[in-house]
Structure 1
Amino acid sequence: MESKQHPFAFRDFRHFWAARLCSTIAQNSMIVIISWQVYDIARKTMGIKEAALQLGLVGLLQFLPLFALTLITGWVADRVDRRWISRACIALQLVCAVVLACLNSSGNITLPALFSIAVLLGIGRAFSMPALNALAPNLVPLAVLPRAIATNAIAARVGAILGPAAGGYLYAAAPSAPYSVSAALFAVSLFCTFMIRPVPRTEIDRCRNPWRQMIEGLAFVRANRLVLGAISLDLFAVLLGGATAMLPVFAYDILQVGPLGLGHLRAAPAVGAIAVAFWFSWAPLRNGVGEKMLWSVAMFGVATIGFGLSRLLPLSLACLVTLGAADMFSVYVRQSLIQLSTPDAMRGRVGAVSTLFISASNELGEAESGFLAALIGPVAAVVAGGAGALAVTLLWARLFPELRHARTFDVNPSSG
């Protein structure tokens, strides 16, 4: 039975939410400037296609650590206090921000330095996302969890709005400024995680074979066709249709709006996403969840095509807002299905598999977009990606009829 309580009624969730908000603002501020600096440095000696390839490398370098560490990070999230994993990852990102601030202040910023930081950020994300996703259900009653997922998404989307815009404005003032501010925000986020009290959770059997425990997350996802269909749909749709990797190219060469315009372009998807997240935080989705998710992914593809064809900043922003709203709808359904159908003792390992799919769709999608743009041009790459997302939606509706038939989130995972 659905609870009428809001997640903010719970003290530890408030601290968790504040930590997520601050760290997300800092992360998005850093990433948008890292992407801009990589493209800016590359364009001084390379053409558009070759510079776009460098953006693809940024995404690939963030994805590879996560791909290599997935089984380990999920097992760690189920075996180690999830609060300490989150604290360590935030501390790592804080150090990265300080290093980039110092390099920019001294004028020693280079492509190798930016690529190295991208790898470290990928390692931090590999450990932090399974831990954070598994920690959130420990902070609220199960009946409140769908609202908590939407409320948690608000922090992520607000950060995705404020971070890129702040990064663009701060970078215009001084190249080191966005990294210095990000370091301060990471420090606040770290403090908030220390305010989260110990929480009860199900412990995994420490006597069992660790390798067998690691692969249990993969086995669970493979056996649950509803979960498998939901996360694989998101994987391939965003992998093909993701346009965010090409935003520096569009801001620099196509729309010609500079770093400030890039900040607005990066923030636009979050504007649509946060509107959807706000709605679901107060009025959770109850009926037709699977079919509505399929329609939202199709809309994601249409909006991506529209953005690729647009040459007007207002129209481009409108397409990105629509794209973000559709993506948030899909994320909300997917996360609710995963969290509500997964036993607590496996949430870290299942969350790691989900993180791998998400990162594959985001970071690997950025690499795919960069490499494809190097072959056929950025505009053609974005339009082709949107068409690919539409094709994937139609195919998945046939391959996974469980998605079309999913009516509600009424699932009851076991506790062990």
Structure 2
Amino acid sequence: MNALAQAATPLPSAGILWARMLDAIRQEKFDYALRWLERMRPLEVRDGALVMGVPDRFFRDWVDDHYRPMLDVQLARMGEGLTSIAYEVVEGLEPDPHFPPTPSVKASATRPGRLNARFTFDTFVVADSNQLPAAAAQAVADKPGHHYNPLYIYGGTGLGKTHLLQAVGNLIWERDPSQRVVFLSSEQFTNEYVESVREHRMGDFRRKFREECDVLLLDDIQFLGKREETQKEFFYTFNTLYEMNKAIVLTSDTVPAEIPGLEDRLRSRFAMGLMTDIREPTYETRVAILQKKAVAEGLDLPDSVAHFIAKHIQKNVRELEGALVKLSAVHSLTRQPVTEDFASQVLRDILPAHSAVDVEAIQREVARFYKVTVESLKEDRRHKALAHARQVAMYLSRKLTKSSFPEIAARFSKDHSTVISAVRKVEGLRVTDATVQRELAELELKLGNP
């Protein structure tokens, strides 16, 4: 066959290509991935990409974050010239009858929409950084509507808020499948509201969220800010559920008072229950998360590799999980031993690049760590906690930069004798005080000096 004839040979259909990929993934024993991948629907081949239908953007982002390396490898192995996987959100997407779920998924076929059976309390690593929100979420799941109603969990991206939110819904539903659990993001709530207004189906919308809802789990509530009509509808939904002792759990990236455009009446409602934050995981917690996730993925993860990843990925649990999934996928495909060098090569596009640290970066990191402002580190206030943070920042500035005592003093608006005194004090505490030892170790890791 000549080159022209080969170029004219049509690609197999999207369905055939996807079936071949799923068969290959099954043969590699990637059962944990099949729970997600089998819910996607092959749509078409377009511009060198296999286009897959997904039920929502959360699903799309999860699959792309966790399984893209695996899918890219399978695409390359097929040798059909496809370069990537693309996604299209298809509302109300149902499993394709040509791709029936594996037995492990059948039990969750009637699980409330958008809930992922993998997000449970058993798979959540509890530590000092998340102990209170985890305990509160467990209490809500144990007795919905009676403890901490509403429960408001806030914190940075990728720290486990959505995991806890889904764990609440999964446990409630698993204990009592008659419980009507509704889980969605505030953006999805807004989209459903707008669509219901446009199609004159507000009766159905209100019935779903008020009359037919026992547990409302709303993710990323901050996106309701500045959406006046949606906020109004949510306010009445909130009141209806609250008055009927229906459980309400909300997550956000910040406290209600700091959400731009959020109505005061909603802020006051959110404060009626319990507000609790999830903080960035400590070094020990990151190692524990990696070890627990490795067991779930069936990966034999050496301690040295867990410590290597934990040292470099410091602020985001989702990034830790993504790194581990990629490591597991490449290891399964190549059968190379899991070593630090192997992890460094596989994760080179994930691990943050090392950059030189300066006094300003140290001030920012120390201020964030001790929950004070950078400006307060430069003031003359002698509050004990603030003075300790200032002394630690001066000590790290001397240790991690080439700045002289007078140069450091100038950055803190102090004289150089104050910096010398602070450095000597922290040096002594590092030897005698275990708490200070841990604080300094964590800060040095965050500043890229493991």
Does the pair score TM above 0.5?
Answer: no
Per the normalisation by structure 2, the TM-score is 0.23
Where is the strand percentage greater, Structure 1 or Structure 2?
2
Per the normalisation by structure 1, the TM-score is 0.24
